[in-house]
Amino acid sequence: MIPPVIDNLDYREQSPEVKDRFTKLKQRPVVLSVDNLGKTFPTPGGEVTALKGVDFEVFRREFMCVIGPSGCGKSTLIRILAGLEVETNGQVLLDGNPVAGPGPDRGMVFQSYTLFPWLTVKQNVMFGPKMEGKSGTSVEADARQWIDLVGLSQFENSYPHQLSGGMKQRVAIARALANRPRILLMDEPFGALDAQTRAQMQNYLLQIWRNLDITILFITHDLDEAVYLSDRILVLKADPGEVDEIIEVPVPHPRSLDQFITPEFVATKHRINQLIHPESESKEDVLPFPRMTAEGDDVE
Amino acid sequence: MSRSTTSPPPREPWFAVRRDLSAKRATVLTIISFALPLAIWAAVSYLPFLWHPDIRLQLSADREDVTTVYIAGDRVSKGFFPEFTEAVRAQNQAVEEQLKSEDPLGGISDSSVRRANKKILRHLSPILISNGIITEEQSKDDETIYKAWGDIATGAWVPKSPALTDENIEIVKRNWAVMSEVSPVYDSDNFISVPIISLIPQGKPSNPDYLPDPGQVFKSGAKAFTSPGEGDRPSMIQRVRHSIFIVFGGFLLAALVGVPIGVLCGTYAFFSKLIEPFTDFFRYMPAPTFSTLLVAIFLANDAPKIALVFVGTFFQLVLVVANTTRRLDLPLLEAAQTLGANQRQLLTHVVIPGILPNLYNDLRILLGWAWTWLVIAELVGVKSGLTEFIETQGRFRNFDMVFPIIILIGVIGFTTDQILALLRGVIFPYTEDGAAASANPLVKALMFIPRWFRQAVSERLPADLANHKSLSTKA
């Protein structure tokens, strides 16, 4: 439960330096532009609308999170962006050019572990360049650099089954970055990790993002994760999946774990919670089960 | 409290639902798993009170007026044996009574009495053979047999394995008394012309011929394997080689054609819908039903046999490989696409390397499948290989010769499978098996081979080339 005192603080209130940061951010070129995107799936019971009229832009070097209740079409959205699914209407522009099909200009990190088990860490990272027909010592040196970047130089000759979940996802990030993508799409990449590893991975990711010229679109269902990582948060609502609000996170950069209890952080989190879990719905969370203990007992 | 510190650790239970046993226990049980059937077989074979419904004759006799002839080595049922011996005793009784009567020869000519007596003489030969006095070829060597009669009668020699019953020793003595009176050594022209009495059949309890004992099976197996081939009868090694050739020939052909088709079916819906429905239908037609057809097409040698193994394996193989290909993790293909792999690269760089470990396992299982077609395949056209041997020996009821071959086929199939299973970890070090395999002492030993090979190759490489190689890996 979020203490009610925070309610007084408006998540839209930004300190001057945060405000300045957003002004600059919006002056940067648009990397990804999503224009009136819609997606319907045919089912035996008629068409189901997964996404409807989704409009947003991601600026260069921005870190944007997408959050929403389950079934809001987060995964469908990122799969369309990656080119793994085809939109029903609207379009996706990357640097102003419409995207068609998957390509190395949009790197993707999946929730499930997708390292090729038959390749070593280094060979996995070299997979993208190899598909482009590149090979040789320069590619290998390049791959080593990316592996260094995610701190796994000792494991470059290990096979994926020898790595922990967090290490696997770090390799997956390195593998996607080795293609020098314009944008990195991340579909709940830390969803399968335990809390400690996840916190560690969030830190690694922020460092990578800060050190590279890379734009990130990150899907999550974890409020803390969204607020901690993002410049802006795209909140989707379900049935049909529409943009509810795009929140500018008022938490200043650089981010640190201490900020989790700052008023800005808590207020933002509270706002997202309101959006994806409205009060009207929380009343429905009360179980119909009759009370079997005395009212007002010491547990209460 | 002090008691709890000294109490021994709790014993692991032998029976717990879905709980693994310790490695030691697992090994013990694996050994028992093989030892137990062998022990049961040995017990049933060597403990007469367990089963032994028959009597195996060590010595037989002729009966008048009965056409069925039993010779030593034959089995008669326990119920019939007393009847048999009684009949021979009654026959002897009749001869004795005849001799006491006024007409000792009973109106039969000298020559036919002699002939009957010579037969009785030779009835002893199975005992002499198993005691090692004469060889199998000497079973009609009347001189030696005659001498043996004398030796037994005088006590100069006592047969040990098997021994003669007291009753039969008495009969030998009785006959020898009259025989030696005529001639102390065998003389065909001067052979006793007064009827002598027959030995009484004797034997030991035994199992039916279709359950030979392990010792016998081992002996026959050793004999079958050491005897060389002659003429158009191949040696056992040649037969084994031929059978392996049929199985592997059919299997490898099926794999060569079937794996690419299966991979295509698993990769492209187009091939799946085009090929799989008919394949699915075809596999329900049993391969043996095609045998006559295959002979008509491929004539009588090895070709129709290989074709039968092929037909029996191919259709299963296509479906199994297609399924394995379809089971490849879809996200791997999606990830590859986002990394820039095109359609062709998806097949060559993701699908094929991705399914290899499972494909290997499939082929291992299908090789076992191919083995099951061996016997039927070798019956097609001209019988050949191990099956021909089983067929021939089985027809003569030489089941002690049949068993070693059946066991051999099992051993070949089983060891091939075990070796292939072990190699999987070596070939695919990146699988879970690979991790387990590298801990296996046997695999550690096997890993020496590739290491040795690499070393041998690098030593033989021209020095500058080897240097260049090491430089490039350092860079």
Cβ distance of A114 and B345 shorter than 8 Å: no
Above 90 in pLDDT, residue A120?
Answer: yes
Over chain B (475 residues), the average pLDDT of each successive run of 10 is 63 89 93 96 93 92 84 91 93 90 76 88 91 87 91 91 91 92 86 89 92 93 88 88 95 97 97 96 92 90 94 96 96 96 95 95 94 92 91 92 93 92 87 71 67 63 44 38
Q: Chain A, 68-87: which have a CB under 8 Å from a chain B CB?
A: 82-84
Tell if the CB–CB gap between B338 and A84 is shorter than 8 Å.
yes
Q: How many CB atoms lie within 10 A of CB A124?
A: 27
Nearest residue of chain A to residue B427 (CA atoms): A118
Find tokens 């930004």 and name the residue. A14
Tokens found for residue A237: 């609502």
A108 touches chain B (CB under 8 A): yes
**Tokens of residue B162, six digits:** 């098997």
pLDDT at position A5 over 70: no
Q: What pairing do the DSSP bridges indicate for beta strands A63-67 and A215-219?
A: parallel
Alpha carbon of B335: minimum distance to chain A alpha carbons (Å)? 6
Whether B256 has its CB under 8 Å from any CB of chain A: the answer is no
* Beta-sheet strand order (sheet of A30-43): A46-59, A30-43, A89-94, A97-98
Q: Please tell me the distance from the alpha carbon of residue B426 to that of residue B446, in angstroms, as a whole number.
A: 8
Mean pLDDT of chain A: 91
Angle subtended at Cα B155 by Cα B153 and Cα B159, rounded to the nearest 5 degrees: 90
> Which residues are registered as beta bridge partners of A266?
none
Q: What's chain A's Rg over C-alpha atoms? A: 21
Q: Do B332 and A114 touch (CB under 8 A)?
A: yes
In a domain, A275, yes or no: yes
Write down the pLDDT at residue B426. 86
Q: Which of residues 400-429 of B touch A (CB under 8 A)?
A: 428-429
Residue A295 forms part of a structural domain: no
Closest approach of chain A CAs to the CA of B18, in angstroms? 25
Q: How far is A116 from chain B (nearest CA, A)?
A: 7
Task: Answer yes or no: are the C-beta atoms of B245 and B94 closer than 8 Å.
Answer: no
B350: contact with A, CB 8 A cutoff: yes
What secondary structure letter does DSSP report for B25?
A: H
Specify whether the CB–CB gap between A229 and A205 falls below 8 A.
yes
Cross-strand pairs, A39: A51
Chain B environment of A82 (Cβ under 8 Å): 334, 338
Task: Tell me how far apart the alpha carbons of residues B236 and B389 are, in angstroms, rounded to a whole number.
Answer: 9
Q: Residue B463: its pLDDT value, please?
A: 45
Q: How far is A135 from chain B (nearest CA, A)?
A: 13
* Residue B356 touches chain A, beta carbons under 8 Å: yes
Neighbours of B24 (CB within 10 A): 8
Whole-number Å distance between alpha carbons of A231 and A22 = 8
A146 shares contact with chain B (CB less than 8 Å): no
Interchain CB distance below 8 Å, B354 and A83: no
* pLDDT tens readout for residues B174-194: 999 999 888 888 888 888 888
Q: Do A118 and B335 touch (CB under 8 A)?
A: no
pLDDT mean over A190-200: 93
The 3 state secondary structure assigned to chain A is CCCHHHHHCCCCCCCHHHHHHHHHHHHCCEEEEEEEEEEEEEECCEEEEEEEEEEEEEECCCEEEEECCCCCCHHHHHHHHHCCCCCCEEEEEECCEECCCCCCCEEEECCCCCCCCCCCHHHHHCHHHHHCCCCCHHHHHHHHHHHHHCCCHHHCCCCHHHCCHHHHHHHHHHHHHCCCCCEEEEECCCCCCCHHHHHHHHHHHHHHHHHCCCEEEEECCCHHHHHHHCCEEEEEECCCEEEEEEEECCCCCCCCHHHHHCHHHHHHHHHHHHHHCCHHHHHCCCCCCCCCCCCCCCCC
Residue A143 belongs to some domain of the structure? no
Cβ-based contacts of A175 with chain B (< 8 Å): 339
Cβ neighbours of A171 in B, within 8 Å: none
Residue B54, SS3 per DSSP: strand
Which of A108, A121, A132, A142 has the highest number of chain B CBs within 10 A, making it the mutation to test binding with B? A108
Residue of B nearest to A138 (CA): B475
Q: Which residue from B minimizes the CA distance to A137?
A: B475
Look-up of token digits 């029976």: B15
Q: Which chain A residues are within 8 Å of B329, Cβ to Cβ?
A: 112, 114
Residues in B closer than 8 angstroms to A132, CB to CB, are 340
Number of domains in chain A: 1
Any A CB within 8 A of B472 CB = yes
Tell whether B475 lies on the interface with A, counting CB pairs under 8 A. yes
Q: Is residue A144 part of a domain?
A: no
CA distance B360 to B367: 10
Q: Who's near A217: CB < 8 A, 6+ residues apart?
A: A32, A58, A64, A65, A66, A78, A81, A183, A184, A185, A186
Identity (one letter) of the amino acid at A167? M
Structure confidence by residue, pLDDT tens digits, A65-80: 999 988 888 999 999 9
Contact A110 B334 (CB under 8 A): yes
Candidates A154, A160, A165, A94; CA nearest to A127 is A160
In a domain, A172, yes or no: no
Partner A contacted by B354 (CB < 8 A): yes
Residues 6+ apart with CB under 8 A from B265: B271, B272, B275, B276, B318, B321, B322, B325
| Residue B250 contacts residue B370 (beta carbons within 8 Å) | yes
Chain B contact probe: residue of A131, A158, A183 with most B CBs at under 10 A: A131
State how far residue A273 is from chain B, nearest Cα, in angstroms. Answer: 31
Residues of B in contact with A131 (CB under 8 A): 336, 339-342, 345, 349
Please answer yes or no on whether A128 and B350 come within 8 Å at the CB atom. Answer: no
Nearest to A108 among B338, B350, B428 (CB): B338
Q: How many CA atoms lie within 13 A of B84 on its CB side?
A: 23
Buried b (16+ CB within 10 A) or exposed e, A52-64: bebebbbbbbbbb
Contact A84 B334 (CB under 8 A): yes
| A54 strand-pairing partners | A37
Distance separating alpha carbons of residues B162 and B203, to the nearest angstrom = 9
Residue A273 has pLDDT above 60, yes or no: yes
Do strands A97-98 and A242-248 pair parallel, antiparallel, or not at all (unpaired)? unpaired
Contact A104 B429 (CB under 8 A): no
Q: Tell me: the pLDDT tens digits for B434-475?
A: 767 666 666 666 666 666 766 666 555 544 444 444 434 433
Contact list in B for residue A162 (CB cut-off 8 A) is 435
Does residue A21 form part of some domain?
yes
Q: What's the gap between Cα A144 and its chain centre?
A: 26
Q: Which of A103, A52, A46, A100 shows the shortest CA–CA distance to A76?
A: A52
Q: Is the pLDDT of residue A113 over 60?
A: yes
- Rounded to a whole number, what is the distance in angstroms from the first to the last CA of chain A? 15
CB neighbour list of residue B145: distance below 8 Å, 6 or more residues apart: B121, B122, B124, B125, B128, B134, B186
> What value does the mean pLDDT take over residues A267-280?
86
Q: What is the pLDDT of residue B447?
A: 65
pLDDT at position B466 is 42
Whether B300 and chain A come into contact, CB under 8 Å, resolves to no
Distance CA B144, CA B133 (A): 9
Q: What is the rounded CA–CA span in Å between residue A116 and residue A171?
A: 11
Return the number of CB contacts < 8 Å for A and B: 82
Q: Does A128 touch chain B (CB under 8 A)?
A: yes
**CB atoms inside a 10 Å sphere around CB B64:** 10
Segment 191-230 of chain A within 8 Å of chain B by CB: none
8 Å CB contact of A159 and B353: no
Write the CATH number for A75.
3.40.50.300
Per DSSP (E only), the strands in B151-218 are: 202-206
Q: How far is A195 from chain B (nearest CA, A)?
A: 24
Residues in chain A: 300
- Give the domain range for residue A263: 4-111+181-279
More confident residue, B103 or A145: A145
> Which of B335, B340, B432 lies at the smallest CB-CB distance from A114?
B335
- The answer to whether residue A241 sits within a structural domain is yes
Omega cis (within 30) before A240: yes
Q: Chain B closest CA to A129's CA: distance in Å?
A: 8
| B184's tokens | 């102390």
Is it the case that residue A59 has pLDDT exceeding 90?
A: yes
- Among all residues of chain A, which has the CA nearest to that of B428? A118
Residue B179 touches chain A, beta carbons under 8 Å = no
Question: Rg of chain B over CA atoms, in angstroms?
Answer: 35
Q: Is residue A162 part of a domain?
A: no
Full strand arrangement of the beta sheet holding B54-59: B75-77, B54-59, B202-206
> Strand, coil or helix: what is B329?
coil
The answer to whether A114 contacts B354, with C-beta atoms less than 8 Å apart, is no
Average pLDDT of the residues in A135-146: 92
Distance from CA of A180 to the nearest CA of B (A): 10
- Output the CA–CA distances (angstroms, integers) from residue A68 to A228, A263, A272, in the order listed: 16, 22, 9
Q: Is B2's Cβ below 8 Å from some Cβ in A?
A: no
